[in-house]
Amino acid sequence: FTQTCHLRIHMMIHTEEKPYQCSHCDKAFIQNSQLKYHIRSHNRGKPYQNNQCDRTFKQTSNLKRHIITHAGEEPNKCRQCDKAFSQKYHLMVHLTTHTGEKPY
């Protein structure tokens, strides 16, 4: 082997050591990359996974929006009160409470 990490991975085949366990089923894997590939089989068309909570999404934009909730970021602040929102749409809906506007 040209690298020691490759030897270590190979040795796991002989010891049957599989440290990466799937949280959805009883399968386990030698490498983390194998586990990530396997998890796609559970995602049912939702290939974008959040590494912090294992939630999956159909679109990267939805994943990015979700990741903000972990950071506690609320970049959309109301100028009329202290409320803040992670999504601009929610701020826009909130603003109607100050104007009395009923768009629907």
- Cα–Cα distance measured from residue 104 to residue 96, given in angstroms and rounded to the nearest whole number: 11
Nearest to 40 by CA among 58, 64, 26, 60: 58
Same domain, yes or no, for 38 and 4?
A: yes
Q: What is the pTM of this model?
A: 0.42
Confidence of residue 44 (pLDDT cuts 50, 70, 90): confident
Distance CA 38, CA 50 (A): 15
Is the domain of 8 the same as that of 38? yes
Residue 103: pLDDT band with limits 50, 70, 90 = low
Q: How many domains, the chain?
A: 3
Q: What is the pLDDT of residues 46-85, one digit of tens each?
A: 888 888 887 888 888 889 888 888 887 777 889 999 888 8
Q: Write out the residue range of the structural domain in which residue 58 sits.
A: 45-73
The CA-based dihedral angle spanning residues 88, 94, 98, 102, taken in that order and rounded to the nearest 10 degrees: 110
Least Cα distance to 67 among 54, 78, 80 occurs for 54
